[in-house]
Structure 1
């Protein structure tokens, strides 16, 4: 069962002269009034009474008062907390009349419930860390975020390499007339030598043809000179005629091959190979860029999988407020980061998280509630009642939404009353002597 504030009496603390409040059990108790009337002094008094001397105001006694500060807080669990006397010493009495101290109060009073600005002024990372700790997923989420960051860093590096490769490939010149592979000078020389050898064979055949032609001519002259040997010469002549025919036929089809192209290639081999290497570099860069892009897409899938695990982890967690989550290590409410939330949203988120920190603390102190309009205020009050949470808040206003109005250190309509009675005087009781009863009902506006 959460502990709440049942009754509150304050006298001569900061701007408060004498105030008695019975906050509504659940929902909003709004302490209204103009500036510098003592509204915030009531919250400071509660923080001092329940939070200990670390919340003691630097000047707790009201200016001009001869009577020391007095605090009397009755809690729903029956504990009575008092600070009174010259030194404002703490006195905690349990329902059985036994004395207790600050350690007992600390066991159920959440520090941030009486010092909400401490939470609201913390960094975004600190707020998120508190939420993750109280819903019990901080360690697992940290592991997932670490894994996501590692994959993200790898993907980032791969993406940079892919971009560099693509840029390099784009900047490379391409020579469509260059061969696919670099050429070798020795291979060209071998081809040249083979052609020269074939040309040499052609030259030998030409020489042979010339020799046969000369022999034929000699034999023709020999026929004229040696008539007597005509038959023998004619026979030999006929044979030579056949040989000549064959030689002529061979000579007609002969054609020498040109080595000009090979000689030019030999002379330009360095330039050709430069173009080939450039084309190969461009092809490799394009292939590498494509490979790295594929790796990038694979890593993107891994990142999305980790993010899905994070999302499912938070969706299944017992979050204190619908629409509240953590993204990239920061609080997010209704899709908005802390610095983009409205002031009222920040108050609601802070209240929900602080309540979750120590559920046995059933109250929270809220200052400057004027940043909420009436509709938001009603919704906030309804949410508090639904959560069974008691909120004691201040608001610069004297409207009907206020549970009580503070004027010059008193509850309006109860001016001049005293809580601590001088010796010999009778306590006027709940009616506060002749002071009129307030027309408001706590928690309604």
Structure 2
């Protein structure tokens, strides 16, 4: 990975003349009070390596007659220089051959020199950057599309099931009602059949009475007409037999009541209302059960999709352990971006920047006042472990600072003042540094 070995800056924004050799691995903190030139150091590096699109709107130090001068030595031997009235770029490789901005762009990651551009991006943009560099964006998007469709379908099914269940619970159920609807015509036919049977029974009873009367008459006939005794006795015997037969036939006859049927006919509307209510309740409960089955099936489907997403990201070459993407947002150690600490946001951003261009081994960080000393040390240790270089600013003059900027100079760094005096010069001359300042 390519890092910054040394840099010299003169007359850029608030910087008068500084010379820095950043820590190769870990955190180099440029400290100092406000308005002393700390951020100007980072802006100078961004301009030197990122091109004129990073040139400050007022690059020349206010009041200076000497144009800006930048000299950055990289770990791959390249020397990047800007000097002269037009601050022209010169890039020299180790062999002394000239190169240009195109070579710098091949290994300098834009986010490394402009980290706020990444940190201020939307949650979806951050996630898309990560997915793009690990090469699973299209697959994950397809999984999320299928998951969203299944989730929405399950949500609808669940709502319908709940409505059906609620509707079923609110409905009355009549235990005394039959299982099927009653037909009035069927009841009337049953009533007519019973009435017909009862009429036949009545006819038989009347026949008994008729025979009885005939028998009595024939007895009188026998008494009155002796002459026809033989015929009458025969008739009497036959009639007597008929009588016995009729009695035996009629003795076990029982009339059936039509009162229940009559009541049912009168109450048919009420009964059928109860039956329909019961049928509706049964149907609602059945529907609710069927929708619940569909809901559980969709739940299993969503679980499988989410597992596929998890497996996809677990098998991907993620730049940081604990980093993932869920629902189109970056997740680090189960926290979304807005719930991450400032240190974790910097850690995630740094890891993603490194992944974008693995050859870019440095990153510029402004305003690290948000970190306490313990967190700052942890972040520095992490950078060292990752083999990364960070040059950062912090409003502080404490021991955690690698250098202190005071009024555009590095505090305690000896320079020959005559070389940086504010006067016009025919050509840019770099500051002369005394021996032993590093």
Q: How does 1:399-418 map to 2 (within 5 A)?
A: 399-414=398-413, 417=416
Q: Distance in 2 between matches of 1:114 and 1:268?
A: 89
Deviations 1:187-220 (A, max 9, x none): 2222122112212211221221121011011012
Do residues 437 (structure 1) and 401 (structure 2) align?
A: no
Q: Distance in 2 between matches of 1:324 and 1:366?
A: 21
What is the CA distance between 1:256 and its match in structure 2?
2.2
Q: Which residue of 1 aligns with 2:274?
A: 275
Q: Which residue of 2 aligns with 1:200?
A: 199
Q: Distance in 1 between matches of 2:203 and 2:325?
A: 94
Q: Which residue of 2 aligns with 1:221?
A: 220
Judge conservation of contact 2:415–2:433 (CA < 8 Å) in 1.
no
Q: Taking structure 2 as the reference length, what is the TM-score of the superposition?
A: 0.93
What is the CA distance between 1:377 and its match in structure 2?
1.9
Indicate how the Cα distance of structure 1 residues 55 and 428 shifts in structure 2: closer, same or farther if over 3 A, else same.
Answer: closer
Deviations 1:53-83 (A, max 9, x none): 2111111112221212211111122222222
SS of residue in 2 equivalent to 1:431: coil
SS of residue in 2 equivalent to 1:287: helix
Q: Distance in 2 between matches of 1:42 and 1:81?
A: 15
Q: Distance in 2 between matches of 1:127 and 1:388?
A: 23
Select between 420-429 and 97-106 the one with higher mean Cα deviation.
420-429
Do residues 359 (structure 1) and 362 (structure 2) align?
A: no
Do residues 257 (structure 1) and 260 (structure 2) align?
A: no
What is the CA distance between 1:416 and its match in structure 2?
6.3
Indicate how the Cα distance of structure 1 residues 204 and 21 shifts in structure 2: closer, same or farther if over 3 A, else same.
Answer: same
Q: How does 1:73-88 map to 2 (within 5 A)?
A: 73-88=72-87
What is the CA distance between 1:101 and its match in structure 2?
2.1
Runs of 5+ unmatched residues, structure 1: 439-445
Judge conservation of contact 2:5–2:22 (CA < 8 Å) in 1.
yes
Deviations 1:132-171 (A, max 9, x none): 1111221211121112112212212221221122122222
Judge conservation of contact 2:366–2:392 (CA < 8 Å) in 1.
yes
SS of residue in 2 equivalent to 1:81: strand
Q: Distance in 2 between matches of 1:424 and 1:180?
A: 108
Do residues 166 (structure 1) and 158 (structure 2) align?
A: no
What is the CA distance between 1:262 and its match in structure 2?
2.3
Q: How does 1:124-143 map to 2 (within 5 A)?
A: 124-143=123-142
Judge conservation of contact 2:16–2:420 (CA < 8 Å) in 1.
no
Judge conservation of contact 2:17–2:431 (CA < 8 Å) in 1.
no
Deviations 1:29-51 (A, max 9, x none): 11111121111110011111111
Do residues 45 (structure 1) and 48 (structure 2) align?
A: no
Q: Which residue of 1 aligns with 2:145?
A: 146
Indicate how the Cα distance of structure 1 residues 161 and 46 shifts in structure 2: closer, same or farther if over 3 A, else same.
Answer: same
Judge conservation of contact 1:367–1:393 (CA < 8 Å) in 2.
yes
Q: Which residue of 2 aligns with 1:156?
A: 155
Q: Taking structure 1 as the reference length, what is the TM-score of the superposition?
A: 0.91
Judge conservation of contact 1:127–1:330 (CA < 8 Å) in 2.
yes
Judge conservation of contact 2:414–2:433 (CA < 8 Å) in 1.
no
Indicate how the Cα distance of structure 1 residues 235 and 417 shifts in structure 2: closer, same or farther if over 3 A, else same.
Answer: farther
SS of residue in 1 equivalent to 2:80: strand
Runs of 5+ unmatched residues, structure 2: none
Deviations 1:309-368 (A, max 9, x none): 111111121111111111222111111111111111111111111111101111100111
Q: Distance in 1 between matches of 2:341 and 2:253?
A: 99
Indicate how the Cα distance of structure 1 residues 423 and 57 shifts in structure 2: closer, same or farther if over 3 A, else same.
Answer: closer
Judge conservation of contact 1:367–1:394 (CA < 8 Å) in 2.
yes
Q: Distance in 2 between matches of 1:336 and 1:397?
A: 30
Judge conservation of contact 1:18–1:417 (CA < 8 Å) in 2.
no
Indicate how the Cα distance of structure 1 residues 325 and 375 shifts in structure 2: closer, same or farther if over 3 A, else same.
Answer: same
Deviations 1:272-329 (A, max 9, x none): 2222222112111111111110111111111111111111111121111111111222
Computed over aligned residues only, the root mean square deviation of the Cα atoms, in angstroms, reads 2.3
Do residues 316 (structure 1) and 315 (structure 2) align?
A: yes
Judge conservation of contact 2:158–2:295 (CA < 8 Å) in 1.
yes
What is the CA distance between 1:263 and its match in structure 2?
2.9
Q: Distance in 1 between matches of 2:430 and 2:170?
A: 95
Q: Distance in 2 between matches of 1:353 and 1:115?
A: 13
